Structure 1
């Protein structure tokens, strides 16, 4: 698949990984619909010019995500929705039992699963349905879906039961979804980032950030959002990448 003149939906696009991916795809000649709950998404789209459109939306809402997909189809002017890069998600930290012996909050656990896992499934199912109506391109390809997992799916830390479970679910969906959608010419991939310079890291103390950076074998720093975007671009343009989860983490293995 080529990016030039193709249209993509990017969730979680107001900042971080999603914003960087939108910038890279527009620079490569693509068109993008930016979806996010944050009102900053409008400014991001405006900065990208006429190739971008913003739409506020909740990834767990069928109506919101269908509206975003419809907007992408409209922006594509007959080409249809070529791809989705799903970056929306939340981080949560809570021990199963706190220092006072109280159990973790069940509603908070369910909220993390709902946004990170159910939200991913919601976007994927609606996008795939739209992509089946695309005219097949080279190799019969009709679209590509890229979900965002995390190294927490494999190396979960203390207090990450909800977050790790939600991202492990994203990992677990990748292969069966790719197998199912292969008959439609739709690929499914996932990227599992390590520690990256995103707004999610902004509340972490500087000494903790330094420790995380030092734990990365090489390069000894946090990942940059554009490095995620470059991998997404490679996945889009390399048709043989399918049904796989790629760790993007500098070799870090959390203890």
Structure 2
């Protein structure tokens, strides 16, 4: 799928995975609207960290009106073809801790942001993408002319979600986080099957440990220990590597209904 000239919506776009993905899409000619919490948008604006081609708008992925407004703003720029959900939080809490059982509030908040926020973007962005005209595939066969199927396969766009390796091998204290990310991964195939008739693909990326602002507070010793658990390359992933994969997924028309791990062959230990 051609990225240039399309509108794209990226959540969590003020920092980390979302910022890197928004920048990568803008660099390829997409018109990007990035949705993030008001404080995050204000920090990015103050730092002058927003690349050309990206419009950051404040909002909460759990609020329908905020997501719909971002969808509307993106659609006003060009046909909306791309949505990438990067907004999320990491929660660490044992089921039975020093203060008693895992509280319901933090579990619900994790599910609300990571799962419901992704679903909110999926359903609202897909509804708008479905209203666009199908793309011309532009493919060419060996004779240079291409078959009818290559020229126009009815594709309209794609929604890319973000899960985590915790969806598959969550650690102690990650019950809420793993539940939220596991549900995002589980939603991928049925969503892809559901939206196939509209020419919309659905893919999910499950990163391992990535060097994002959420990791900024860990000490050198903890960071070194995390890096040592990754078989190869033995380091934290970079946000731009996530963005590179997101772009590859968007451009690869035959990728659909799958969750791709990006983890350096990491399999998380129990703790």
**Normalised-by-shorter TM-score class:** over 0.9
Secondary structure in 2 aligned to 1:82?
strand
> 1:210 maps to what in 2?
224
Q: Is the 8 A contact 1:45 1:53 kept in 2?
A: no
CA distance in 1, matches of 2:167, 2:33: 28
Structural mapping, 1:25-174, within 5 Å: 25-37=25-37, 38=40, 39-42=42-45, 47-49=50-52, 51-76=53-78, 80-99=79-98, 102-137=100-135, 138=137, 139-174=153-188
In the alignment, what sits opposite 1:187?
Answer: 201
Question: Matches of 2:245 and 2:58 in 1, distance apart?
Answer: 25
Q: What TM-score do you get using the length of structure 2 for normalisation?
A: 0.90
State the 1:204 CA deviation: 1.7
Distance 1:41 1:151 in 2: 28
Which residue does 2:264 correspond to in 1?
Answer: 250
Following the alignment from structure 1 to structure 2, what is the Cα–Cα distance between the partners of residues 41 and 163? Answer: 26
Q: CA deviation at 1:36?
A: 0.3
Question: Equivalent residue of 2:246, what SS?
Answer: helix
Superposition CA RMSD, Å: 1.3
Aligned residues: 250
User: Residue in 2 aligned with 1:5?
Assistant: 5
Q: Any stretches of 5+ residues in structure 2 without a counterpart?
A: 138-152
C-alpha distance in 2 between matches for 1:250 and 1:61: 35
Structure 1 residues not aligned, in runs of 5+: none
**What are the Cα deviations for residues 150-178 of structure 1, in whole angstroms up to 9, with x where unaligned?**
00000100100000000000001000000
Partners of 2:44 and 2:173 lie apart in 1 by: 30
Equivalent residues of 2:23, 2:54 under 8 A apart: no
Cα offset, 1:43, TM superposition? 5.4
TM score, norm. by length of structure 1: 0.95
Return the index of the structure with the highest Cα Rg. 2
Paired with 1:196 and 1:211, the residues of 2 have a C-alpha distance of: 14
